[in-house]
Every structure is written in C-alpha cells, then in structure tokens.
C-alpha cells in the first residue's frame, strides 16, 4: 500500500510537470514556438518547457502582428529576463516570476502592471504605456526604473535604497520626494508639472534633468558630484553653481536667468542658455577650453535670443567656438581677461545704483555720502574719475554699450564696488 501511494504521487508529479500551459493569445504562442520553447514540437507549451526558460524575448518589431495578452507568463517562474516591448499588452502581472531581474515592457498600452515583491528585480523599463499608477514596494534590489511617457501623477520611492537611475519624464507629477533614495545618481523628471523639487537627500547625483516643468528656483549647489544639469524651459530667475566642481554641462535656456557665473567650475565647457530674455552677464572663464566640433555638428555654446546680454567672459581660445555656434555678438562685450571684479558687487555702506542696465539716466542712493567716483572698463582701465556726482552722471550717460565697473568712496572712506551695464 505504501509503495502504491508513492507511485501515485510520482505519477501525479509527472503528469503535473508535463501539463499544458494555457496560452490564449495566438501571437504570444507563435512567438514562444519561434523562440524554441516548444522543445517537443507538439505545438503547445508544457510546464516543464516553460520552467526551462530563463531569458525570453517576445518583443515585436516593425509591422509584425502584436501580442495583446500575456496570460500564461506566470508559469515561466525561472525567468530572469523578460522582454515584451512594442506590443498591444494592456495588463501585465509578473508577481509569480520571483527570479526576474530585468523586465522590458516599453511601448505597449499597459494600464495595470503588477510587479510588487519582486525582490530580485534590478531593472524595470515600462516607458510609453498608459499607467496611471504603479506600486514599487518590495523591489529591494531595483537600481534602474524607467517609466517615462505614462499618466503617473504620483510615485512612492519608499524602500528603494538601491535605486541609482530614475526616469519618469513626461508624466503628470506635481510633487516628488527623493528622501528615501540615497544612492540616486541619475534623475530625469522632465516634462511634468513640478513647481518645486528638493535634492537635499541625493548627494551622489551626476545627472539631473528637470526641464519643462514650472520651477521658479532650483538649489543644486550642494551636489558636488553633479556633472550635467538640464533645467531648461522653466521659470528660474537665479542659479548658483559655484560649488559644482565636476559640472561640465549646463542647459538653462528658456528661463528668466539674469546672470550665470561658471568661473569656479573647472570642468565647465558646455552652456546652453538661449531664450533668457533677462540674461545680461555670463562668466565661464575657468581654464577649461570649449571648442567647436570639427565636423561643425555640435557646439558647446547656445546664446541666441538673449536680447539683454551685454557681457561674456570666456577663456582665450573659446572665441572660435562661439563664432561658429552662429551667435552674433552685436552689442556684447566679449572678454578673455580677468573678470573676477564682475563676480560679486561689494556694497559696504547701503549704497546702490539704479537702473542697471543704464540706458540714459544714472542714479545713486545717497549721492551726498559719496566723495569720489571712478569708472573702469572691463579690462580694469580707468576711464574717468571725479568727485562730482553730476559729472559722473553725464560721463556714464555717454559711455558706449558694454560692461563697466564703478568704484565709490563714501564719506567714511569705505570702498564700494559695482558692476553695471550700459545699454
């Protein structure tokens, strides 16, 4: 009797192991057969055949007939890699695939994606679907998440301590919290509806793309590992990058920036600041030479559509790259000499000058407190000095378009430095 019972269990196991897996989607079945999964060539997939597969690629190419239903995939429990991109799949549940490390389901019509608890998953590519929500809980080893071009209006990254690369561009986010992701080094949240963003917990970032949002400010000066920052097409008025010693490229076009100072960034060779209507001053004299692509296909500078720009300071040798970029520097002073005086204005006695830029009239608050006026050009050459306020006003009014420095001695013999622009 004991022998018979054991035999029955053995027969049951054999029958169960060889049972057919239901694959209702004919295209999915056809692709499985084409992949060689049907090892006994009987036109169906048995459980033992499904369990033998560790890597499966059923991506659709071009005009191929596409998979609509992935029913049956739950029996492929030894899968390490699953690729099912470029199909017409609307729902995908892979929670049974506990060995899965890589899921590529880009370019489908997925509204429901269940991946919770897949602790071995390291890469998730689910770009260009119609996801309105996604649960990322239990993804203990995930390091790359790519869910751009969906309909996500919120995302919870709690517990994703291994996450290094996160792409969620072109969604509906109005807020995002990176607090539980200390290892992030790549972030792309472009094309959302963010009005604020906090990078305080993400000290290892190398790349940030927050372009095409609604940001009015951005604080990144603590991110000393940052190499590339793209924040174009926002409403940013001011940016500080002086501590970013590894920064080499800055994309900040289509904002409201007034000044950009990259003189403290030794690797800074690429700047795109086009379409900043308030931009007056750029300093990228840092000892790193940016040059034009010899094939004339790429340039490290984009300064067009900056009507208020009057001064550019750069390293000697970069003038060619600027000219070849197509920028016409009419009414702009370009200097390769020392620009350090222009980096910060020192105001020791609450004196201010206005307006700046100067077009016609020029004024100083409390002119009665000023005992001496000195005006210098961008190279540091003294153009004139006087003790009379009216004389200083007249001479400044007659200056040519450009950037100048004004030194004021007040009645207490304090020295005040100002940089001003003459239109």
The CATH number given to whatever domain includes residue 366 is 2.60.40
Q: Which domain does 186 fall in, by range?
A: 47-191
Structure-block tokens of residue 363: 């004024």
| Interatomic CA distance for residues 114 and 112, integer angstroms | 7
Residues 6+ away with beta carbon under 8 Å from 101:
80, 81, 120, 121, 122, 123
| φ, ψ for residue 29, nearest 5 deg | -60, -45
Helix H or strand E segment including 33: helix 26-34
Tokens 């989607």 -> residue: 25
Same domain, 121 and 176: yes
Domain boundary among 302, 318, 344: 344
| Interatomic CA distance for residues 140 and 365, integer angstroms | 61
pTM beyond 0.85: the answer is no
Looking at 285-299, 303-317, 377-391, which range is the least confident one?
285-299
Q: Is residue 375 part of a domain?
A: yes
Q: How does strand 144-146 pair with strand 112-114?
A: unpaired
Q: Is residue 115 part of a domain?
A: yes
Same domain, 271 and 158: no
Same domain, 133 and 258: no
Reported as a single tens digit per residue, the pLDDT across 314-326 is 877 676 667 666 6
Burial status of residue 45 (CB atoms within 10 A of its CB: 0-12, 13-18, 19 or more): buried
Same domain, 131 and 231: no
Question: Tell me, what DSSP letter sits at residue 340?
Answer: G
Domain boundary among 158, 191, 224: 191
The CATH number given to whatever domain includes residue 141 is 3.80.10.10
Same domain, 330 and 395: no
Q: Is residue 27 part of a domain?
A: no
Same domain, 234 and 319: yes
Same domain, 337 and 407: no
Highest mean pLDDT among 219-228, 285-294, 310-319: 219-228
Domains contained in the chain, number: 3
| Interatomic CA distance for residues 273 and 253, integer angstroms | 4
Burial of 323-345, coded b for 16+ CB within 10 Å and e otherwise, reads eebebeeeebbebeeebebbeeb
Q: Is residue 38 part of a domain?
A: no
Rg over alpha carbons for the chain, rounded to the nearest Å, is 31
| Interatomic CA distance for residues 284 and 63, integer angstroms | 49
Reported as a single tens digit per residue, the pLDDT across 75-112 is 999 999 999 999 999 999 999 999 999 999 999 999 99
| Interatomic CA distance for residues 114 and 91, integer angstroms | 8
Same domain, 165 and 138: yes
Asked if 4 and 11 count as a contact pair (C-beta separation under 8 A), the reply is: no
Which pLDDT does position 9 carry in this prediction? 42
Residue 405 half-sphere exposure, CB side, CA atoms within 13 Å? 21
Same domain, 63 and 184: yes
């Amino acid at each position: 009797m004991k022998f018979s019972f054991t035999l029955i269990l053995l027969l049951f196991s054999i029958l169960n192991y060889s049972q057919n897996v239901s694959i209702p989607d004919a295209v999915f079945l056809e692709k499985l057969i084409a992949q060689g999964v049907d090892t006994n060539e009987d036109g169906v997939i048995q459980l033992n055949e499904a369990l033998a597969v560790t890597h499966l690629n059923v991506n659709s190419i071009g005009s191929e007939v596409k998979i609509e239903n992935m029913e049956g995939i739950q029996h492929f429990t030894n899968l390490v890699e699953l690729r099912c991109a470029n199909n017409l799949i609307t729902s995908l549940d892979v929670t049974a695939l506990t060995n899965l490390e890589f899921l590529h389901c880009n370019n489908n019509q997925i509204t429901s994606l269940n991946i919770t608890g897949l602790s071995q998953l390291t890469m998730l590519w689910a770009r260009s679907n119609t996801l309105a929500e996604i649960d990322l809980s239990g993804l203990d080893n995930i390091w790359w998440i790519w869910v751009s071009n969906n309909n996500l209006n919120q995302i919870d990254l709690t517990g994703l301590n291994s996450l290094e690369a996160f792409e969620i561009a072109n969604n509906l986010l109005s807020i995002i919290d990176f607090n539980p992701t200390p290892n992030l080094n790549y972030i792309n949240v472009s094309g959302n509806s963010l009005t604020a963003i906090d990078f305080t917990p993400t000290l290892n970032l190398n790349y940030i793309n927050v372009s095409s949002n609604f940001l009015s400010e951005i604080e990144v000066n603590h991110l000393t590992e940052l190499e590339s920052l793209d924040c174009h097409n926002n409403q940013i008025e001011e940016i500080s990058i002086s501590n970013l010693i590894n920064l080499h490229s800055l994309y900040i076009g289509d904002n409201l920036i007034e000044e950009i100072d990259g003189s403290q960034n030794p690797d800074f060779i690429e700047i795109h600041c086009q379409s900043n209507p308030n931009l007056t001053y750029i300093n990228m004299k840092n000892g790193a030479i940016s040059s034009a692509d010899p094939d004339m296909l790429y340039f490290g500078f984009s300064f067009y559509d900056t009507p208020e720009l009057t001064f550019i300071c750069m390293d000697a040798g970069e003038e060619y790259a600027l000219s070849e970029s197509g920028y016409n520097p009419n009414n702009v002073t370009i200097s390769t000499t020392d620009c350090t005086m222009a980096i910060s204005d020192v105001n020791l006695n609450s004196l201010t000058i206005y307006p700046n830029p100067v077009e016609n009239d020029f004024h100083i608050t409390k002119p009665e407190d000023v005992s001496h006026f000195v005006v210098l050009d961008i190279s540091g050459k003294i153009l004139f000095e006087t003790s009379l306020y009216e004389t200083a006003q007249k001479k400044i009014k007659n200056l040519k378009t450009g950037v100048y420095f004004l030194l004021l001695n007040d009645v207490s013999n304090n020295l005040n430095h100002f940089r001003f622009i003459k239109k």
